[in-house]
Amino acid sequence: MHPMQTIAVRAARAAGQTIIRAFAELDKVEVTAKGINDYVTNVDKEAEAAITYQIRKSYPDHTIIGEETGENKGENSEYVWIVDPLDGTNNFVKGIPHFAVSIAVQYKGKTEVAVVYDPIRDELFSAVRGKGAKFNDFRMRVSKKNDLSDAIIATGFPFKAKQHTETYMKIFTEIFTQCADVRRAGSAALDLAYVGAGRVDGFFEIGLKPWDIAAGELIVREAGGTVTDFTGNHDYMTSGNIIAGSPKATSIIVKTARPLLSEALKR
């Protein structure tokens, strides 16, 4: 195993233990609002601290960018860890058992290692650039769907960017009429991991953050899938607008979405 992958897995499992303990006593979880429809709990912060501790033990000079604490600069800025300690906080707060820890490691701007860990199901999705993707210890591949007629597509509503609702609903309607069904589960990190594992055939969402997708997008690519933005380019880490899936499914979703994009989403 890649040495940084070993540490990422260790950190993800440590965060997972923190989350599971708290999930058993949800009445004690402290919830505060960061913004409109954007919440943070003490558990997010504790899980991020557990991850940072594990990383710092082995790589004290690396930079860490966490959803809750922002950028924690190290002397070595070429290595950057991008961390979402609890992707799916709203699910967690409501007692819905669908959320994940997401950790990605970038070297000189390229993602080298990715881990998405579901502590409820003890499912670990991981990838190393050029080495493929794994579900627990088994190699995984995206589905082989060549059209959407019997495909399951995952998505997420733009609940933090409701100015895009009209455009999103047009895209949703077009995709829904083409595919077998749509899933909206509430964790982009797990949606992408599920694409990599072939559990869903494609995924699209508007307005995500780098820590939502940094690990998942490498998992999809290393599992043989493709990842683009809504214009078919590769600016999704900046725009937060992402389409992922088997190569054919991604292509169809892009072709469907592109004519429907507002000017704001064409950038």
Taking only the tens place, the pLDDT of each residue in 163-209 is 899 999 999 999 999 999 999 999 999 999 999 999 999 999 999 99
Q: Is 122 annotated as a binding residue?
A: no
Q: Is 84 annotated as a binding residue?
A: yes
Among the listed residues 85, 80, 44, the one whose alpha carbon sits nearest the alpha carbon of residue 59: 80
What letters, b where the CB count within 10 A reaches 16 and e where it falls short, cover 124-154?
Answer: bbbbbbeeebbbeeeebbbbebeebeebbbb
Q: Is 44 annotated as a binding residue?
A: no
Q: Is 86 annotated as a binding residue?
A: yes
Q: Domain locations in the chain?
A: 3-139, 152-260
Residue with tokens 């047009």: 170
Domain 152-260 sits in CATH at 3.40.190.80
Report how far apart, in Å, the C-alpha atoms of 186 and of each of 108, 166, 189, 243, 252 are: 31, 20, 9, 16, 23
Taking only the tens place, the pLDDT of each residue in 24-34 is 999 999 998 87
- 4: tokens are 């940084």
Amino acid (1-letter code) at residue 91 = N
Q: Is 87 annotated as a binding residue?
A: yes
Domain 3-139 sits in CATH at 3.30.540.10
Taking only the tens place, the pLDDT of each residue in 207-261 is 999 999 999 999 999 999 999 999 999 999 999 999 999 999 999 999 999 999 9
- Assign 68 a pLDDT band (cuts: 50, 70, 90): confident
Q: What is the pTM of this model?
A: 0.96
